Amino acid sequence: MTGVLAKRGDAFSETTIDDEVVLLNLADGTFFSLTGTAARIWGLIDGTRDRAALLADLAAAYGVPTAAIAPDVEAFLAQLGEAGFLERG
């Protein structure tokens, strides 16, 4: 996946409870709970940013270098990809 990051809307249902983003994997019924940075990243995946832009926005929001957060962001995006929540770019 190297292009624009976008969600696969038909793969999940989403709601927010007490500032936690809750996702339901429609394929197997499992729940995902996203809080803090994970919820923020999820919100930034809106079909307008590629990985570099997402990292830049996140780094600016938290006042840290992109290199410092890149591994964790990549790992989280990989998890979302494995769950089938992201479009294949």
Partner 1 sequence: MPHTLAGHPVPPGSALLLGGSFLLRTGTGYAFHYVRGDGVTVERAVGADPAEQELWLNGSVHAAIAAINGFLPFHASAVAWDGQVFAVSGPSGAGKSTLAAALGRHGLPLFCDDTLVLDISDPARVRCLPGRKRLKLSEEALVLTGARGREKVSPMVAKRYAEPAGGVVEAVLPLGQLIFLADGDSIRLEPISGARRMVLLDDDHYTAEFVAVARGESRAERFAWLAGLARRTPMQQLTRPRDVAQFDAVAARLADWIKKGVRP
Residues in touch with partner 1 (CB under 8 A): 13, 15, 17-20, 22, 24, 26, 29, 31, 33, 35
Q: What is the DSSP string of 27-84?
A: TT--EEEE-HHHHHHHHH-SSS-BHHHHHHHHHHHHT--HHHHHHHHHHHHHHHHHTT
Measured from the CB of residue 2, what is the shortest distance to partner 1 in angstroms?
A: 30
Q: Which is nearer to partner 1, 35 or 48 (CB)?
A: 35
Q: Which is nearer to partner 1, 26 or 52 (CB)?
A: 26
Q: Which amino acid is at 17?
A: I
Measured from the CB of residue 21, what is the shortest distance to partner 1 in angstroms?
A: 8
Measured from the CB of residue 25, what is the shortest distance to partner 1 in angstroms?
A: 9
